[in-house]
Amino acid sequence: MRNISKSGITNNMKTVGLLGLLGGGMVAIGSALGGSGGATIAFVLALVVVGGSYWFSDTLAVKASGAKPVESGQLEWLQHDLAELSQRAGIPVPRLFISPSPQPNAFATGRNERKAVVAVTVGLLEVLDRREVRGVVAHELGHIKHRDILIGSVAAAIATGISYIANMAMWFGAFGGGDDEDRPNPIALLLLSILAPIGAMIIQATISRAREYEADRAGGEISGDPTALADALAKIETYVKRVPMAVNPAQATAYIINPFTGRQVRFASLFQTHPPTAERIARLHAM
Q: Is 140 a catalytic residue?
A: yes
* Count of CB atoms situated within 10 Å of the CB of 1: 4
Q: How far apart are CA 247 and CA 61, in angstroms?
A: 10
Sign of the dihedral defined by the CA atoms of residues 262, 265, 266, 269, in that order: negative
At residue 268, the pLDDT reads 44
Structural contact between residues 260 and 252, judged by C-beta atoms closer than 8 angstroms: yes
Q: Tens digit of pLDDT per residue, the chain (287 long)?
A: 344 445 444 444 544 454 555 555 555 555 555 544 555 565 566 566 656 655 665 566 677 778 899 988 899 999 999 999 999 999 999 999 999 999 999 999 887 788 899 999 999 999 999 999 999 999 999 999 988 877 766 666 666 666 666 666 555 555 454 555 555 566 666 666 666 666 666 766 777 788 899 899 999 999 999 999 999 999 999 999 888 887 777 677 789 998 887 655 444 444 577 889 999 999 999 98
Triad 266, 269, 273: Cα angle to 5°: 115
pTM over 0.75: no
Sign of the dihedral defined by the CA atoms of residues 3, 8, 14, 20, in that order: negative
Q: How far apart are CA 146 and CA 152, in angstroms?
A: 11
At residue 72, the pLDDT reads 86
Residue tagged active-site, from 113, 140, 214, 237? 140
* Count of CB atoms situated within 10 Å of the CB of 89: 21
What residue type is 214 in one-letter code?
A: E
Structural contact between residues 283 and 216, judged by C-beta atoms closer than 8 angstroms: yes
At residue 22, the pLDDT reads 54
